[in-house]
Amino acid sequence: MPFSSTIAQLGKLLVCTDDSPESQGAVTLALDLARAAGSQVYLLQVLTLVPSYELHSPDLLPPMPRLDQELMAAREAAVRHNLEAWKTRAGEQGVALEVLVRAAVSPYAGILEEAESLQPDLIVMGRHGATGLTRLLMGSVTARVIGHSPVNVLVVPPGAARPAFKKVFLAHDGSQYSAAAWEEALRLAAYFGAALIAATVAPDKEADEALEITRTLRARAEQRGLTLDTMVLRGRPDEAIVSAARFKEADLIVLGSHGRTGLARLLVGSVAERVIGQAPCPVLVVKKK
């Protein structure tokens, strides 16, 4: 199955793994995307220099003792050996894959450093990880990667189905960040022939505003020949979004990277992480250009 015009133009995918079962689903999905789009895959695993904690002033570190250097070299060799299996699998699928191993003081620092160097078109990550990525999507790692990434981030939960996006679910709060997510959701729906669902979350006092947002989105969808199913949700934003996505059996949730304070603080602070952490399907976090 082909992918959207945006997906189909992906030249480079940066895929983050820690070789855990949870992260393997992200690699599998990324290979599917790359095969359809003709993308180059860069498979990254970060080795933490000090795995027990994150250093606030890494520049103050003394030179690494020789024994530690030898240990790090051995760790890197072992990681590269394990990742070569993915390179072989990718080659069998006609996908070009390059193995990357980066040493950093923390997982998110290594991911962001690699993203800055590589300039990928999309970052693909698993929802949970072991060892160095344990906190992925449960604490600061996800917030920092998504918050500082210059490109969209696709987050894949364990056991996610192969990418056949038949129902695209957009969470919209009227912000400029949600506007960027809306454009991406439109492209995805048009290319896949997918059902498009747009939801807003608002307390009672802002119900009229939420209804106006959905009416505007519906009109814009109709202008592009698309039918839009709209929902105004109540309750805590992350719970409402996840519950609605489950009810609609969404294949993909599309979110803006930030929200605004006026409408239930959608996607501000921990809300985005909670949505991603509980989502039953992959979540595409769209960055405002």
Residue identified by tokens 């969404």 is: 250
Please give the pLDDT value at position 258.
66
**Where in the chain do CATH 3.40.50.620 domains reside?**
5-156, 167-286
Please, is 247 exposed, middle or buried when counting C-beta atoms within 10 Å of its C-beta (0-12, 13-18, 19+)?
A: exposed
pLDDT tens by residue, the chain, 289 residues: 334 445 546 789 999 988 777 788 889 989 988 887 789 999 999 988 754 444 455 555 555 555 577 777 888 888 999 999 999 999 999 999 999 999 888 888 899 999 999 999 999 988 764 443 334 443 456 667 877 888 999 988 877 766 677 899 999 888 888 888 999 898 878 777 889 999 998 766 567 888 888 899 999 888 888 889 999 998 888 899 999 999 999 989 998 876 544 343 444 445 677 788 888 899 999 887 6
CATH class of 167-286: alpha beta
The second-level CATH assignment, the architecture, of 5-156 is 3-Layer(aba) Sandwich (3.40)
CA distances from 51 to 9, 63, 103 (A): 37, 17, 11
The pTM assigned to this predicted structure is 0.82
